[in-house]
């Protein structure tokens, strides 16, 4: 009998395993995985997340947390059907750009999360606020392209600090969210508690209608308030001499109201408004004149304005980036 002992031990172990694995005592096969998470989701367009889950009918909840810590509203909980669950929502135009995290919780089936990127405009890195924006588009008469005149109004909410080295990137989007062209404007310094008008233009390789602007504002930092912007007087809009149906220029006077410094030159940035106060375009200009304190000079700024219908314009707002020369010691 001694030589059969190992075989009996194997049989005993198999019997014990059979007793342990009685029907109904095994743990269910709880599994959960994403079937779709976007790599990029775009502001102003639909977004979606879907999962595969076992068992086939469980309750699952989705949360989406954006780069600024805010949560997407309206997602909530749903019950899976045939082992599938999905959520859809419209990405807000002001949804924070950058990394966002989609997290799914399905009770005993488990939890999982994944990061995706929200693509679009943002002022988060600069803390500046976009007060208004708008544009006008004019088809080219000589080819299949078009020109766009745009304006963006920024506000510095700080009462004590100037925003330094401000850059404004503008994407021109069609109705489907495709970028047709990109323009970059260096706004420079925006004074404390000040509004700044950013105007410009871009040439598009297509006449497809621009549906909206996507604006990205960046700032190197904020410093103690010291920025001084020259005063303006007699600002007015004039139609083009050769194309009277379109804007030709914005004119007026720049006054050096600095008490001691000489204004050596200035870059002008212009935003145009219609009668309802809506932004309909913008442009740029320059003043190349040395102005001692208390003197003034005429400016005639017209770069990028000829895509705006003259009949639509009501008012113009001009912001200045000045260069000063300190008095001799």
Residue 256 dihedral angles phi and psi, to the nearest 5°? -85, 95
Q: Are 85 and 51 in contact (CB under 8 A)?
A: yes
Which residues of the chain carry a pLDDT beneath 70? 1-30, 123-125, 328-329
Residue position matching structure tokens 């009770």: 107
Residue 87 dihedral angles phi and psi, to the nearest 5°? -130, 140
Q: Does domain 31-119 have CATH number 2.60.40.10?
A: yes
Look at residue 137 in the predicted model and tell me its pLDDT: 98
pTM of the model: 0.78
Name the nearest CA neighbour of 284 among 318, 253, 315: 318
- 19-43 exposure pattern, b = at least 16 Cβ within 10 A, e = fewer: eeeeeeeeeeeeebeeeebbeebbb
What one-character-per-residue DSSP string does 33-60 give? EEEE--SEEETTSEEEEEEEEESSS-EE
Element (H, E) at 63: strand 59-65
Look at residue 20 in the predicted model and tell me its pLDDT: 40
First to last CA, the chain: 117
Residue 92 dihedral angles phi and psi, to the nearest 5°? -65, 155
For residues 154 and 187, what is the distance between their CA atoms, to the nearest angstrom? 10
The count of other CB atoms within 10 Å of the CB of residue 198 is: 27
Cis omega (within 30 of 0) for bond into 12: no
Look at residue 297 in the predicted model and tell me its pLDDT: 97
Look at residue 29 in the predicted model and tell me its pLDDT: 56
Name the nearest CA neighbour of 88 among 47, 143, 51: 47
> Cα 122 from chain centroid?
3
Look at residue 127 in the predicted model and tell me its pLDDT: 85
Look at residue 234 in the predicted model and tell me its pLDDT: 97
State both tokens at 187.
């706004």
């Amino acid at each position: 009998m001694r030589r059969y002992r190992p075989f009996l031990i194997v049989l005993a172990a198999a019997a014990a395993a059979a007793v342990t694995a009685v029907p109904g005592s095994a743990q269910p096969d709880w599994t959960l995985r994403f079937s779709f998470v976007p790599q990029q989701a775009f502001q102003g367009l639909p977004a979606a997340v879907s999962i595969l889950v076992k068992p086939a009918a469980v309750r699952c909840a989705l949360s989406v947390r954006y780069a600024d810590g805010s949560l997407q509203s309206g997602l909530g909980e749903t019950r899976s059907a045939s082992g599938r669950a999905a959520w859809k929502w419209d990405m807000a135009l002001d949804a924070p750009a950058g990394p966002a995290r989609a997290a799914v919780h399905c009770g005993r089936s488990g939890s999982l999360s994944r990061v995706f990127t929200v693509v679009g405009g943002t002022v988060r890195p600069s803390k500046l606020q976009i007060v208004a924006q708008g544009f006008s588009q004019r088809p080219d008469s000589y080819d299949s392209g078009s020109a766009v005149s745009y304006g963006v109004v920024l506000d510095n909410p700080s009462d004590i600090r100037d925003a330094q080295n401000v850059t404004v990137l503008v994407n021109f989007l069609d109705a489907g969210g495709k970028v047709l062209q990109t323009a970059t404007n260096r706004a420079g310094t925006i004074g404390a508690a000040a509004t700044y008008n950013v105007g410009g233009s871009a040439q598009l390789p297509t006449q497809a209608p621009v549906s909206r602007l996507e604006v990205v504002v960046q700032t190197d930092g904020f410093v103690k308030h010291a920025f001084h912007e020259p005063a303006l007087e007699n600002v007015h809009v004039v139609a083009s001499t050769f194309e009277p149906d379109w804007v030709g220029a914005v004119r007026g006077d720049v006054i050096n109201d600095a008490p001691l410094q000489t204004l050596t030159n200035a870059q002008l940035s212009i935003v145009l408004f219609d009668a309802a106060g809506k932004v309909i375009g913008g442009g740029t200009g320059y003043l190349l004149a040395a102005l001692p304190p208390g003197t003034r000079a005429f400016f005639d700024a017209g770069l990028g304005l000829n895509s705006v219908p003259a009949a639509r314009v009501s008012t113009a707002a001009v912001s200045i980036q000045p260069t000063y020369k300190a008095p001799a010691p």
